[in-house]
Amino acid sequence: MTIRTKFTEVFGVEHPIAQGGMQWVGRAELVAAVANAGALGFITALTQPTPADLANEIAKTRDLTDKPFGVNLTILPSINPPPYDEYRQVIVDSGIKIVETAGSNPAPHLPMFHDNGIKVLHKCTSVRHAVKAQSLGVDGISIDGFECAGHPGEDDVPGLVLIPAAANQIEIPMIASGGFGDARGLVAALALGADGINMGSRFMCTVESPIHQNVKEAIVAGSELDTELIFRPLRNTGRVASNAVSREVVEILDRGGKFEDVKDLVSGARGSRVYETGDLDAGIWWVGTVMGLINDIPTCGELVSRIVAEAEELITERLGGAVVEAAIR
């Protein structure tokens, strides 16, 4: 048995599960393992220092899997923006057929992707942005609730309301993101009107995830209370692991500090050191509240099979079994 949805059909993936872009984490080893597990993995374009490095990473992933996978292109406002057009060109030239866009309006990138037969899954954090992206012609929506790692937006609407509110207005395939880590989440997402789930933190804590073992063990040990929301006063909220650095950032900004005052603390170079060296206080590192539901470090194959098998059982046995004839209650 398998779970078939609009998402699996349109994006040509076996299971209704995606692994969204993850800075420093979304590299060949993880993405190929996710693809081999029958889910949809995305290489994070901007983790690669140059567009040429992205081309190499795509080739490396292809050496590890013959299943489809995509590339995440995160478009964030920046004083010195990366050469987005060159990364986009590499994606097209490499024959990638699925792109996850995130961070801002995907409109400037859509014509080139669509002209080259690339399907675009746009990730956003509000119903209004999902509706806007649908009207622009994206092929699917990934909607991130307040629970998520990364940037949950400023509306603070958790998935329980955000997903059905979006489902009321979204006709194209839509996957639910933020807080998903097991079969219960997948079944809940389907019930709320989504066509599948996107997971970041859960895939980060797998055998193939190319980060230090200490980080994975910290996720297993951590609870749903162990994240911080940084940059709130700057209206650019980020959900990260609670550690000495993130707590200091929150404190400085709460006291009226400016971005300049925390710039060094939050630098990408420091953050990447956490994943490389396993020093959990080297910088900020991203993780979501689903940490409270993550209790092991499985392979991607084990994780995906477990979620799908348990979801099938939940739907057919537990939920199906709860529906009884009124007369025999």
Nearer to ligand FMN, 148 or 163 (CB): 148
Nearer to ligand FMN, 27 or 67 (CB): 27
Residue 76 Cβ, how far from ligand FMN at the closest point, in Å? 8
Burial zone of 226 (CB within 10 Å; 0-12 exposed, 13-18 middle, 19+ buried): middle
Residue 179 Cβ, how far from ligand FMN at the closest point, in Å? 5
Nearer to ligand FMN, 242 or 257 (CB): 242
Residue 322 Cβ, how far from ligand FMN at the closest point, in Å? 28
Residue 46 Cβ, how far from ligand FMN at the closest point, in Å? 6
| H/E run at residue 59 | helix 51-64
User: What residues line the site for ligand FMN (CB under 6 A)?
Assistant: 20-23, 25, 44, 72, 74, 102, 123, 144, 147-150, 177-180, 198-202, 204, 286-288, 290
List for the chain the helix, strand, coil content (%; round to 5). Answer: 45, 15, 40
State the number of CA atoms in the 13 A half-sphere of 263 facing the CB: 4
Nearer to ligand FMN, 88 or 123 (CB): 123
- Structural contact between residues 40 and 18, judged by C-beta atoms closer than 8 angstroms: yes
Amino acid type, 53? D
Nearer to ligand FMN, 126 or 257 (CB): 126
Token digits for 114? 């669509």
Residue 118 Cβ, how far from ligand FMN at the closest point, in Å? 17
Nearer to ligand FMN, 133 or 287 (CB): 287
- Structural contact between residues 284 and 230, judged by C-beta atoms closer than 8 angstroms: yes
Chain residue at closest Cβ approach to ligand FMN: 200
Nearer to ligand FMN, 84 or 324 (CB): 84
Q: Choose among 103, 165, 192: nearest CA to 157.
A: 165
Amino acid type, 277? T
Place of tokens 């009226």: 256
Residue 37 Cβ, how far from ligand FMN at the closest point, in Å? 16
d(CA 68, CA 164): 29
Burial zone of 258 (CB within 10 Å; 0-12 exposed, 13-18 middle, 19+ buried): exposed
Residue 314 Cβ, how far from ligand FMN at the closest point, in Å? 19
